């Protein structure tokens, strides 16, 4: 009997990937292809949803062919996706009425400010756990209905459907049989009530969105549909796992226990903390969201986003020309014994949690005649760790849960200097997973769990092993002083552009 695989579909912001995993979490094959980004106006970002679907279908077929397997050798399929990105399409033709509006798009920012002035912030936060922001799906749906000719009329006739990218992919895989999403993606729309676990009628009315457009909300692990027979050579593969990218990463890192925290070090950083079976609302502007739903059990998370992380190292490379490759940052940081009093606050686009100052700007402080490029490079890596500490300390205060370890993934988690400094500044152990691709792996684990391939989360946890554990230095006074100086440096960046 041939080995059975789990296929994970990772619908990212710039590319689609299909990954075949073995049951032990190791990768058999990967296929990846990028798709186009569209910027019709300043701060507007769009994708062609048909291109995303075509690209995903292409990588699915390619990874099967590359592996010399039959579609029948795939036991189940899990999906993870860029969150909040909004597609509205005609349910009869399958054609989108407009390009997908991407999570990064700011076209509805003015409308969001109006909602805040009208006093809706607390109501929306108490229902959804979210800040009013153009980031989320609700205002994007409203924009399409208000600005695309004939869209509102068609929606009110029941002819249009809405979905985030997971919903769009599943609808196409099932040839329109399943119009569904999971709890994690629903919780990022600004339309879903975290307490009732239903689409919220008051919010639907506020945003003037016909309820018939909204998908059915299902658990993140369990049957969401089956691939249509004509899709993959007659195979009806169970689609049995689905989660937004950060939640999938958290599941792939086995953050199953109360207080478990993961940090994904990418262009920015996404920090998420498991808060168990109750939503915790933040005093620092962190987001309250659903971690996942399995069976009838919902687990919640606090999430904090750091705008500038890996992109700070790219800035050193591409604009300042201080390094040739991102990997050089580790080498140069180790060439000096400390930062020589230099601190960088990378507030290129303002500061997020816990400061929330959109007028803050990037700042370098503490320069002296003895400052060298090595100090600036080291200060840049340290800034990523300081920002992560800011968010984790906010989570600690919001939740009153003691955080004793951090699980890490993403490109910059391969930087040994950064990971050791992160451990030192937090005074906790930092665990780097041995298994790569934690986001897609999380989707695979959810899918496998959804068909009984894994008995429970404990079996998944036993698969997760760690490549490296970074343990904090004993010199606490030194790192406490570093952090005090960081806070002073942050204060110098406030309100610069006001």
3-state secondary structure (DSSP) of residue 289: strand
- Say if residue 479 carries a ligand binding annotation: no
Q: Is 225 left (phi over 0), alpha (psi -120 to 50) or beta?
A: left
Q: Which helix (H) or strand (E) holds 162?
A: strand 160-163
CA 386 to CA 9: how far, in whole Å?
A: 33
- Say if residue 13 carries a ligand binding annotation: yes
Give φ, ψ of 37 to 5 degrees.
-110, 140
Tokens of 198: 């239903």
Residue-wise over 319-337: b if at least 16 C-beta within 10 A, else e?
A: eeebbeebeebbebbeeee
| Residue in the block written with tokens 């960088």 | 344
CA 414 to CA 263: how far, in whole Å?
A: 13
- Say if residue 295 carries a ligand binding annotation: no
Sequence-separated (6 or more) residues with CB below 8 Å from residue 185: 81, 83, 164, 166, 167, 242, 243, 244
- Say if residue 182 carries a ligand binding annotation: no
- Say if residue 15 carries a ligand binding annotation: yes
**CA dist 338 to 83, 168, 428, 478, Å?**
39, 50, 20, 11
Other Cβ atoms closer than 10 A to 489: 20
- Say if residue 58 carries a ligand binding annotation: no
Residue-wise over 4-24: b if at least 16 C-beta within 10 A, else e?
A: ebbbbbbbbbeebbbbbbebe
CB 470 within 8 Å of CB 34? no
3-state secondary structure (DSSP) of residue 181: strand
CB 429 within 8 Å of CB 469? yes
- Say if residue 314 carries a ligand binding annotation: yes
The DSSP output letter for 322 is -
CA angle 260, 29, 238 (to 5 degrees): 70
Name which of 19, 74, 71, 85 is nearest 442 in CA terms.
Answer: 19
- Say if residue 245 carries a ligand binding annotation: yes
Give the distance, in angstroms, between the CA of residue 494 and the centroid of all CA atoms in the same chain. Answer: 27
CA 386 to CA 345: how far, in whole Å?
A: 9
Strand stretches in 56-108, DSSP E:
74-81, 87-90, 100-101
Name which of 213, 224, 264, 266 is nearest 406 in CA terms.
Answer: 264
- Is the torsion defined by CA of 468, 474, 475, 481 positive or negative? positive
- Say if residue 415 carries a ligand binding annotation: yes
- Say if residue 411 carries a ligand binding annotation: yes
Binding-site sequence positions: 13-15, 17, 83-84, 135, 245-246, 267, 310, 314, 411, 415
Binding-site sequence positions for sn-glycerol 3-phosphate: 13, 83-84, 135, 245
Binding-site sequence positions for ATP: 13-15, 267, 310, 314, 411
Binding-site sequence positions for ADP: 13, 17, 267, 310, 411, 415
Binding-site sequence positions for glycerol: 83-84, 135, 245-246
């Amino acid at each position: 009997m041939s080995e059975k695989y789990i296929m994970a579909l990772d619908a990212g912001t710039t590319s689609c990937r299909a990954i075949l995993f073995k049951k032990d979490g190791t990768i058999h094959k990967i296929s990846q292809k990028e798709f186009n980004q569209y910027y019709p106006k300043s701060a507007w970002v769009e994708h062609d949803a048909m291109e995303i679907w075509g690209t995903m279908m292409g990588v699915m077929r390619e990874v099967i062919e590359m592996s010399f397997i039959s579609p029948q050798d795939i036991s189940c399929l899990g999906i993870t996706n860029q969150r909040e990105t909004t597609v509205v399409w005609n349910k009869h033709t399958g054609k989108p009425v407009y390009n997908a509006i991407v999570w990064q798009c700011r076209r509805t920012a003015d409308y969001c400010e109006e909602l805040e002035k009208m006093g809706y912030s607390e109501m929306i936060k108490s229902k959804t756990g979210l800040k009013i922001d153009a980031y989320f799906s609700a205002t994007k749906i409203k924009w399409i209905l208000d600005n695309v000719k004939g869209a509102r009329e068609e929606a009110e006739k029941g002819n249009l459907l809405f979905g985030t990218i997971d919903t769009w992919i599943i609808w196409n895989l099932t040839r329109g049989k399943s119009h569904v999403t999971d709890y994690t993606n629903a919780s990022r729309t600004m339309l879903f009530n975290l307490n009732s676990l239903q689409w919220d009628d008051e919010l639907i009315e506020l945003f003037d969105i016909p309820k018939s457009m909204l998908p059915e909300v299902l658990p993140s692990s369990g049957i969401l549909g089956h691939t249509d027979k004509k899709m993959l050579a007659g195979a009806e593969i169970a689609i049995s796992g689905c989660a937004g990218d950060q939640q999938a990463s958290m599941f792939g890192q086995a953050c199953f226990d109360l207080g478990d925290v993961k940090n994904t070090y990418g262009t920015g950083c996404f920090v998420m903390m498991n808060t168990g079976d109750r939503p915790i609302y933040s005093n620092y502007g962190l987001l309250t969201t659903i971690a996942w739903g399995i069976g009838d059990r919902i687990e919640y998370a606090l999430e904090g986003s750091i705008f500038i992380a890996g992109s700070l190292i790219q800035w050193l490379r591409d604009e300042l020309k201080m390094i040739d490759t991102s990997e050089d940052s580790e080498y140069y940081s180790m060439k000096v014994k400390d930062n020589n009093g230099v601190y960088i606050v990378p507030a290129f686009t303002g500061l997020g949690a816990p400061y929330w100052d959109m007028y803050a700007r990037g700042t370098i402080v503490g320069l002296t005649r003895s400052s060298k490029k090595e100090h600036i490079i080291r200060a840049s890596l340290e800034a990523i760790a300081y920002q992560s500490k800011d968010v984790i300390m906010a989570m600690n205060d919001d939740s009153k849960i003691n955080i004793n370890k951090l699980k890490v993934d993403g490109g910059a988690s391969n930087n040994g200097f950064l990971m050791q400094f992160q451990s030192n500044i937090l005074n906790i152990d930092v665990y780097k997973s041995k298994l790569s691709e934690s986001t897609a792996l999380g989707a695979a684990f959810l899918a496998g769990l959804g068909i009984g391939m894994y008995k429970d989360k404990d079996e998944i946890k036993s698969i997760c092993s760690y490549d490296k554990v970074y343990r904090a230095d004993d010199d606490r006074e030194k790192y406490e002083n570093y952090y005090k100086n960081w806070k002073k440096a942050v204060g110098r960046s406030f309100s610069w552009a006001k």
